[in-house]
Chain A
Amino acid sequence: MSIDRKLEFIIGEDKNLTQLLEVSEALMVLDGAVRAGACGAEISDSNRVLLAACGGESPFSAMRAILVEGEPAGSVVVYAADSGARLEGIADMLHAALQTLINGAMKRMLTSEAHTTIVNQSYDELLETNEKLSGSERQYRELAASLETKVQERTEELKRAYAIMLQKEKLAAVGGLAAGMAHEINNPIGFVISNLNTLTKYATKLKEMLEFYHTNCEPAIPEDLARQAETRWRELKIGYIFTDLDGLVNQSLDGARRVQKLVADMKGFSHVGETGAVPTDINLELEQTLSVLCHEVRAGTVIECNLGSVPTVRLNPALLSQAFLQIIRNALQLKAPALKIVVTTGQQGDDARIQIADNGPGIPPDIRDHIFEPFFTTKDVGQGTGMGLSLAEQAVQACGGKISITCPPEGGTVFTVTVPIGSEHS
């Protein structure tokens, strides 16, 4: 609504005689003067321009000024055959009639002016109000329409945030446990290994000494005693012990070393005390993850690792190994008769690519879009939380990477994780 538009019509604008006097009406009044006995009559404006005339001129005339708002705006002239009271009377009457006509027109114009202005204004105001109302109506409609979607989005976000929080807490707990265990187990296993080594040496010495006696001293002692020694040697199966001792100790050492490695892998896997992005060896992370999962590998399951050369990537290793853990664990739980899991790593363009393939039943197309959704599971109630793959996706995304699945026609499922090598995400 502009001020200019309103100012098109200003109450109180000056009017001239032509605007106020209709020629047809003026002529009727002039005609009345002629019928009253005048020879003729005429009206002119302030510039002496003739506006209306009736009858003819004659030598005798009388003039009256026409006023508009008190100011002279023109004049009326009456012609008669002779001068005198009759001429003046007609002039006065004609003047009064015209002046009444003009004043009436003036009033009419002023009221219609005011009316037009008011109507225009009200119309403009209504338009403005209408515009505002439709604007806010539109806003509310949009709000109502998007509310449901917004609620859904927020719920999803909350679910994800909750899942991440849960996982982080779990990770921290596992990490704490792993760190404590590593500390508690490392020391005893350290001296067990050390002592076992020493024991091997001692055993070798004892064996050597015993054999020395057996071969060199026994012939020198009395026959009876030698026979007794021979019997005892056999009874105690010393010969067998000699052959079995090395294997026994080596097996124990091997076991102890495996415990040591597991503890170290668990500590490494949980990345206790590590936050943010660090240069990470993806292959090492995979090996540690597999090691941690070894107790979940059922008999008959084959895990094949084709680890290619992958450059070190700057990322948060805890997150990545979480993703690996979830994907591999998911594969390990498949109910396939001769389960085979193939882990392949390599570089593809600017990305490090990790593929985890299984020979399971594959994922039906109708649920493929849902498997990364939180709480989505096809397992029996109580068997799966539905969080695993969702967490894997979250973790990979947090590393700046992508996760996707394909189900090749020959069967099985392939999870592909790609992480940009130049990635600086944490």
Chain B
Amino acid sequence: MIEFDEQAKKLVVKLVYYGPALSGKTTNLLCLHDQLCNEGRGDLMVLDTVDDRTIFFDLLPLFYVAPSGFRIKLKVFTVPGQVRHDATRKAVLQRADGIVFVADSQKGKMGTNAESFANLENNLSMVGLDIDKLPLVIQFNKRDLPDIISEDEVNATWGPTGLPLVMASSLQGAGVLEAYRRIVALAFDALDARLELTARYGVERADFVSSVSRISG
């Protein structure tokens, strides 16, 4: 987590959308921004891009106040997917509380997916995080495209890892909220185990998850 201030009754949590270049990480955040109720969420901050490619990161802040007055701020980041921005990816990964790995479903992209995942493993260990303990959700994006690997294949490959799998089409808004809700819930569980959020600060899991994923309209 970025910050935990017991006296100010405040917790700042970091979620990171990771994945290969052009897999749709920013699109996920744009979609979340559009779908989520603007009460309790800030504006999506898209930092400098070149030719529509992220070179720093995107940031979507969300916040929640428990009935006890305890505040949890959720900062959702993307990382630049291009290989050359590895240092930025490492910097953004620091103190992450949960990762959504956005994989590209297109046939022929499995190699880059695997490379990016290996890069994630490596970078996590470099910033002192244990991939086996960190909440992680795998999202297979671009399900709307024609030339993609089947869901069975995805399950066959990733099923054995035991990681939650979400099929998505971030351009059309499918599977975006689901992946987000799952990582929020998993991150909450991990933080609750460490900080006893429910017992000590009266933060209810269901209330927190539904509050930070309330949709607009």
Task: Mark A residues whose CB is within 8 Å of B.
Answer: 3, 6-7, 10-14, 67-71, 103, 106-107, 110-111, 114, 117-118, 121-122
Query: Which of the segments B42-50, B156-164, B184-192 contacts the partner chain?
Result: B42-50
Q: Which residue of B lies closest to A70 (CB)?
A: B42
Q: Specify which of A67, A110, A114 is in contact with B42 (CB 8 Å cutoff).
A: A67
Of the A-B pairs whose beta carbons lie under 8 Å apart in the complex, a sample of 28, sorted by A's number, is A3-B127, A3-B128, A11-B57, A11-B77, A11-B91, A11-B94, A12-B77, A13-B2, A13-B12, A14-B2, A67-B42, A69-B42, A69-B43, A69-B61, A70-B42, A70-B43, A70-B62, A71-B61, A71-B63, A103-B45, A106-B45, A107-B47, A110-B56, A111-B48, A117-B91, A118-B87, A118-B88, A122-B87
Q: Which residue of A lies closest to B10 (CB)?
A: A14
Kindly state the separation between the CA atoms of A69 and B94 in the bound complex, as whole angstroms. Answer: 20
Interfacial chain B residues near A69, Cβ < 8 Å: 42-43, 61, 63, 73, 75
Kindly state the separation between the CA atoms of A10 and B4 in the bound complex, as whole angstroms. Answer: 13
Q: Specify which of B41, B59, B63 is in contact with A110 (CB 8 Å cutoff).
A: B59
Known interface pairs A12-B12, A12-B77; 18 further A-B residue pairs with C-beta atoms within 8 A, sorted by A's residue number: A3-B127, A6-B94, A10-B95, A11-B77, A11-B94, A12-B75, A14-B2, A69-B42, A70-B62, A71-B61, A103-B45, A106-B45, A107-B45, A110-B47, A110-B56, A111-B47, A111-B48, A114-B92
Interfacial chain A residues near B94, Cβ < 8 Å: 6-7, 10-11, 117
Name the distance in Å between B113's Cβ and chain A's nearest Cβ. 25
Kindly state the separation between the CA atoms of A103 and B35 in the bound complex, as whole angstroms. Answer: 22
Most interface-central of A10, A12, A114, A117 (chain B CB within 10 A)? A12
Interfacial chain B residues near A110, Cβ < 8 Å: 45, 47, 56, 59
Q: Is the CB of A12 within 8 A of B90?
A: no
Task: Mark B residues whose CB is within 8 Å of A.
Answer: 2-3, 12, 14, 40-43, 45, 47-48, 56-57, 59, 61-63, 73, 75, 77, 87-88, 90-92, 94-95, 127-128
Q: Specify which of A71, A103, A111, A122 is in contact with B56 (CB 8 Å cutoff).
A: A111
Kindly state the separation between the CA atoms of A122 and B56 in the bound complex, as whole angstroms. Answer: 16
Interfacial chain A residues near B2, Cβ < 8 Å: 10, 12-14
Name the distance in Å between B130's Cβ and chain A's nearest Cβ. 13
Most interface-central of A6, A70, A110 (chain B CB within 10 A)? A70
User: How many Cβ-Cβ contacts under 8 Å join chain A to chain B?
Assistant: 75
Most interface-central of B2, B77, B94 (chain A CB within 10 A)? B94
Interfacial chain A residues near B77, Cβ < 8 Å: 11-12
Q: Which residue of A lies closest to B90 (CB)?
A: A121
Kindly state the separation between the CA atoms of A268 and B75 in the bound complex, as whole angstroms. Answer: 96
Q: Specify which of A14, A68, A70, A117 is in contact with B40 (CB 8 Å cutoff).
A: A70
Those 10 A-B pairs whose CB atoms lie nearest each other, nearest first: A70-B42, A69-B61, A117-B91, A69-B42, A118-B87, A3-B128, A12-B75, A12-B2, A114-B56, A118-B91
Interfacial chain B residues near A118, Cβ < 8 Å: 87-88, 90-91
Most interface-central of A11, A71, A106, A110 (chain B CB within 10 A)? A11
Q: Specify which of A13, A67, A70 is in contact with B3 (CB 8 Å cutoff).
A: A13
A70 with B87: in contact, given A10-B2, A11-B94, A107-B47 (CB under 8 Å)? no
Name the distance in Å between A99's Cβ and chain B's nearest Cβ. 10
Most interface-central of B40, B61, B63 (chain A CB within 10 A)? B61
Interfacial chain B residues near A11, Cβ < 8 Å: 57, 77, 91-92, 94
Kindly state the separation between the CA atoms of A118 and B41 in the bound complex, as whole angstroms. Answer: 28
Kindly state the separation between the CA atoms of A7 and B93 in the bound complex, as whole angstroms. Answer: 11
Name the distance in Å between B52's Cβ and chain A's nearest Cβ. 17
Q: Is the CB of A121 within 8 A of B48?
A: no
Interfacial chain A residues near B57, Cβ < 8 Å: 11, 114
A70 with B41: in contact, given A114-B88, A118-B88, A121-B90 (CB under 8 Å)? yes
Q: Is the CB of A70 within 8 A of B56?
A: no
Q: Specify which of A13, A106, A114 is in contact with B91 (CB 8 Å cutoff).
A: A114
Name the distance in Å between A184's Cβ and chain B's nearest Cβ. 82
Q: Which residue of B lies closest to A2 (CB)?
A: B128
Name the distance in Å between B10's Cβ and chain A's nearest Cβ. 8
Kindly state the separation between the CA atoms of A3 and B90 in the bound complex, as whole angstroms. Answer: 12
Name the distance in Å between A127's Cβ and chain B's nearest Cβ. 15
Q: Is the CB of B73 within 8 A of A71?
A: yes
Interfacial chain B residues near A7, Cβ < 8 Å: 94-95
Kindly state the separation between the CA atoms of A301 and B43 in the bound complex, as whole angstroms. Answer: 115
Interfacial chain A residues near B88, Cβ < 8 Å: 114, 118
Q: Specify which of A3, A70, A107, A117 is in contact with B61 (CB 8 Å cutoff).
A: A70
Interfacial chain A residues near B128, Cβ < 8 Å: 3
Most interface-central of A3, A69, A106, A121 (chain B CB within 10 A)? A69
